[in-house]
Protein backbone atom coordinates (compact mmCIF):
# COMPACT_ATOMS: atom_id res chain seq x y z
CA UNK A 1 0.00 0.00 0.00
CA UNK A 2 2.89 2.37 0.73
CA UNK A 3 4.13 2.14 -2.88
CA UNK A 4 0.71 2.74 -4.42
CA UNK A 5 1.10 5.16 -7.34
CA UNK A 6 -2.40 5.27 -8.91
CA UNK A 7 -5.05 7.94 -8.52
CA UNK A 8 -7.79 6.02 -6.67
CA UNK A 9 -6.42 4.05 -3.73
CA UNK A 10 -9.96 3.69 -2.37
CA UNK A 11 -11.42 1.69 -5.28
CA UNK A 12 -8.11 -0.03 -6.09
CA UNK A 13 -7.01 -1.12 -2.63
CA UNK A 14 -8.69 0.13 0.50
CA UNK A 15 -12.33 -0.71 -0.18
CA UNK A 16 -11.92 -4.11 -1.92
CA UNK A 17 -9.17 -5.25 0.44
CA UNK A 18 -10.35 -3.68 3.69
CA UNK A 19 -10.83 -7.01 5.45
CA UNK A 20 -8.63 -9.56 3.67
CA UNK A 21 -5.29 -8.54 5.15
CA UNK A 22 -3.93 -6.97 1.95
CA UNK A 23 -4.39 -3.59 3.56
CA UNK A 24 -3.78 -2.78 7.18
CA UNK A 25 -6.42 -0.17 7.86
CA UNK A 26 -7.99 0.32 11.26
CA UNK A 27 -11.70 0.70 10.59
CA UNK A 28 -13.62 2.92 12.99
CA UNK A 29 -17.05 2.58 11.44
CA UNK A 30 -18.50 0.86 8.43
CA UNK A 31 -22.05 1.07 7.10
CA UNK A 32 -23.48 -0.40 3.89
CA UNK A 33 -22.33 2.65 1.96
CA UNK A 34 -19.63 4.35 4.03
CA UNK A 35 -16.22 3.48 5.45
CA UNK A 36 -14.38 5.44 8.16
CA UNK A 37 -10.83 4.49 9.18
CA UNK A 38 -7.61 5.92 10.55
CA UNK A 39 -5.44 7.40 7.77
CA UNK A 40 -2.49 5.10 7.00
CA UNK A 41 -0.10 8.05 6.62
CA UNK A 42 -1.58 10.62 9.01
CA UNK A 43 -0.89 14.31 8.49
CA UNK A 44 -2.30 15.21 11.91
CA UNK A 45 -2.06 13.36 15.27
CA UNK A 46 -5.72 12.38 14.85
CA UNK A 47 -6.52 11.78 11.20
CA UNK A 48 -9.59 9.86 10.09
CA UNK A 49 -10.82 9.40 6.53
CA UNK A 50 -14.51 8.96 5.71
CA UNK A 51 -15.32 7.77 2.19
CA UNK A 52 -18.24 6.32 0.25
CA UNK A 53 -17.68 2.70 -0.81
CA UNK A 54 -19.04 3.36 -4.29
CA UNK A 55 -16.99 5.57 -6.56
CA UNK A 56 -17.75 9.29 -6.39
CA UNK A 57 -15.23 11.64 -7.97
CA UNK A 58 -15.47 14.44 -5.44
CA UNK A 59 -17.77 16.39 -3.17
CA UNK A 60 -19.08 18.20 -6.24
CA UNK A 61 -20.65 14.97 -7.53
CA UNK A 62 -22.13 13.83 -4.22
CA UNK A 63 -25.89 13.97 -3.85
CA UNK A 64 -29.02 12.12 -2.78
CA UNK A 65 -29.18 9.56 -0.01
CA UNK A 66 -25.44 8.87 -0.29
CA UNK A 67 -24.81 12.49 0.69
CA UNK A 68 -27.05 12.05 3.73
CA UNK A 69 -25.35 8.81 4.72
CA UNK A 70 -21.85 10.21 4.29
CA UNK A 71 -22.66 13.34 6.26
CA UNK A 72 -24.20 11.28 9.06
CA UNK A 73 -20.96 9.29 9.48
CA UNK A 74 -18.82 12.44 9.16
CA UNK A 75 -20.87 14.08 11.92
CA UNK A 76 -20.55 11.04 14.17
CA UNK A 77 -16.77 10.83 13.69
CA UNK A 78 -16.35 14.60 14.05
CA UNK A 79 -18.31 14.58 17.29
CA UNK A 80 -16.16 11.72 18.60
CA UNK A 81 -12.94 13.60 17.77
CA UNK A 82 -14.27 16.88 19.20
CA UNK A 83 -15.25 15.10 22.41
CA UNK A 84 -11.92 13.28 22.73
CA UNK A 85 -9.57 16.08 21.62
CA UNK A 86 -11.58 19.25 22.25
CA UNK A 87 -11.43 20.35 18.61
CA UNK A 88 -11.78 18.91 15.11
CA UNK A 89 -11.51 19.93 11.48
CA UNK A 90 -13.59 18.52 8.62
CA UNK A 91 -12.12 19.03 5.15
CA UNK A 92 -12.18 17.66 1.63
CA UNK A 93 -9.99 18.57 -1.32
CA UNK A 94 -10.93 19.44 -4.88
CA UNK A 95 -9.09 19.85 -8.18
CA UNK A 96 -5.32 20.12 -7.89
CA UNK A 97 -5.54 19.72 -4.10
CA UNK A 98 -7.21 16.30 -4.45
CA UNK A 99 -4.51 13.63 -4.80
CA UNK A 100 -6.87 10.64 -4.77
CA UNK A 101 -9.69 11.09 -7.25
CA UNK A 102 -12.28 9.43 -5.05
CA UNK A 103 -14.26 11.54 -2.63
CA UNK A 104 -12.91 11.35 0.90
CA UNK A 105 -13.51 13.57 3.91
CA UNK A 106 -10.70 14.21 6.39
CA UNK A 107 -11.65 14.54 10.06
CA UNK A 108 -8.58 15.64 11.98
CA UNK A 109 -7.29 17.28 15.13
CA UNK A 110 -3.95 18.63 16.35
CA UNK A 111 -0.98 20.37 14.74
CA UNK A 112 0.29 19.05 11.37
CA UNK A 113 2.90 16.30 11.77
CA UNK A 114 4.94 17.49 8.76
ZN1 LIG B 1 -13.04 5.29 -6.53
For the stretch 25-42, pLDDT in tens is 999 999 999 999 999 999
How remote is the CA of residue 80 from the centroid of ligand 1, in Å? 26
Q: Report the separation in Å between the CA atom of 83 and the middle of ligand 1, taken as the mean of its atom positions.
A: 31
Instruction: Supply the pTM of this predicted model.
Output: 0.94
Express each pLDDT in 61-109 by its tens digit: 999 999 999 999 999 999 999 999 999 999 999 999 999 999 999 999 9
Residue 39: exposed, middle, or buried by beta-carbon count in 10 A (0-12, 13-18, 19+)? middle
CA 84 to centroid of ligand 1, rounded, Å: 30
Between the CA of 56 and the centroid of ligand 1 the distance, in Å, is 6
**According to the model, what pLDDT value does residue 1 have?**
53
Query: Is domain 9-109 annotated with CATH 1.10.357.10?
Result: no
Domain boundaries, the chain: 9-109
Transcribe the chain into DSSP letters.
-TT--SS-HIIIIITTTSSSSSS---EEEE-SSEEEEE-SS-SSSEEEEEEESS----GGG--HHHHHHHHHHHHHHHHHHHHHHS--EEE---GGG-SSSS--EEEEESS---
Amino acid sequence: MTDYSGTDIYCDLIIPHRTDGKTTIHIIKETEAILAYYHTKPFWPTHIVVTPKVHVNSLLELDGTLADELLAVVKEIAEMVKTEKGAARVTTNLGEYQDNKHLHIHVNSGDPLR
